[in-house]
Amino acid sequence: MNASIVNSRRGIRQRISLTAHKYIAILYVSIVNNLTYMVEVVFRSVFLIIFVYIFLQLWTVTYASRNLSSLGGFRISDMIWYLAMTETIALSLPQLTRQIDMEVRSGEIAYLLGRPCSYVMYRFAQYFGERIVRLVMNTIVAGLIAFIFVGPPPFTWQGLVAWPLVLLFAISIEYAIYFSVGLLAFWTEETAPFSLVINRLAMILGGMLAPLEILPQPIRGIAQVLPFSAIYNGPAHTLIRFNLGQFGALLLQQSITLAISCAVLAVIYWLATRRVSINGG
């Protein structure tokens, strides 16, 4: 009896280990693939420089014209580092919706579904690999630019330790949202418009263009409960102004947002895969 329980546990552990190895291998291939096209990754970072420069000008003028030393608790250097970090996250998003949309439209999804791995997890491993490469490059570029413009970062060691965890949650939430939008290609002629609107909502109400603290009420209140604040504002906030209570609240918000996003994704995926038909050949 005991021996069979031990064997069964060992079997489950082995299966989990094999599954994990499979997705880690896909993740590794994705990272290597993206490192191969490093010039393209560097090239994309150029736009980041433009954004950080524009925001630096905008907020420097704003602080100077109002004679402000701090705004919503942010000094000008905090503000620029905050925006550099939100831009780092935002501009590292791969074209996930477009990819899923194309796979649905071309019928390629039928072949991918037949593979001995979950389509959702397969794409997540690929997305995660691409995102890691872009995030690292963007962090280097944005960090350098922000350092040149406003000096050393106001990060605390707690913020630096917490950053990877909240970032992992943030990019997982984005994956669930944009993957779900891509799957809408099963029902609609075009998914790019949905993706564009979600992206713009995330930019403005997620705190990518300015910290939510400086938005007027009731917009601030609405923005704080939307999932977008868990993607940009929360993680950047954790890094710039770490506070244990806020960190706990952010983790809770991210967990709830991720759970809801994954539930929506699961429902859409279930409905979508019922529409797939494979006809030999």
Q: Which is nearer to another protein, 225 or 249 (CB)?
A: 225
Q: How far is the CB of 121 from another protein (least distance, A)?
A: 30
Please, which of residues 19-58 interact with another protein by CB under 8 A? 40, 43-44, 46-47, 50-51, 53-54, 57-58
**Distances in whole angstroms, Cα of residue 254 to Cα of each of 7, 110, 171, 210, 262:** 37, 32, 10, 20, 12
218: left (phi over 0), alpha (psi -120 to 50) or beta: alpha
Contact (CB, 8 A) for 55 and 77: no
Considering only 113, 136, 144, 204, the residue that binds another protein (CB under 8 A) is 204
Contact (CB, 8 A) for 224 and 212: yes
Q: Does 177 bind another protein (CB under 8 A)?
A: no
Q: Does 217 bind another protein (CB under 8 A)?
A: no
Considering only 203, 243, 251, 273, the residue that binds another protein (CB under 8 A) is 203
73: left (phi over 0), alpha (psi -120 to 50) or beta: left
Considering only 7, 106, 188, 255, the residue that binds another protein (CB under 8 A) is 188
Q: Does 164 bind another protein (CB under 8 A)?
A: no
Contact (CB, 8 A) for 186 and 107: no
**Distances in whole angstroms, Cα of residue 279 to Cα of each of 110, 111, 177, 180:** 10, 11, 30, 25
Considering only 113, 136, 168, 201, the residue that binds another protein (CB under 8 A) is 201
Cα gap 168→250, rounded to integer Å: 13
Q: Which amino acid is present at 37?
A: Y
Considering only 3, 5, 18, 65, the residue that binds another protein (CB under 8 A) is 65
Q: Does 226 bind another protein (CB under 8 A)?
A: no
Q: Does 190 bind another protein (CB under 8 A)?
A: yes
- Contacts with another protein by CB under 8 A lie at 40, 43-44, 46-47, 50-51, 53-54, 57-58, 61-62, 65-66, 188-190, 192-194, 196-197, 200-201, 203-204, 209-210, 214-216, 219
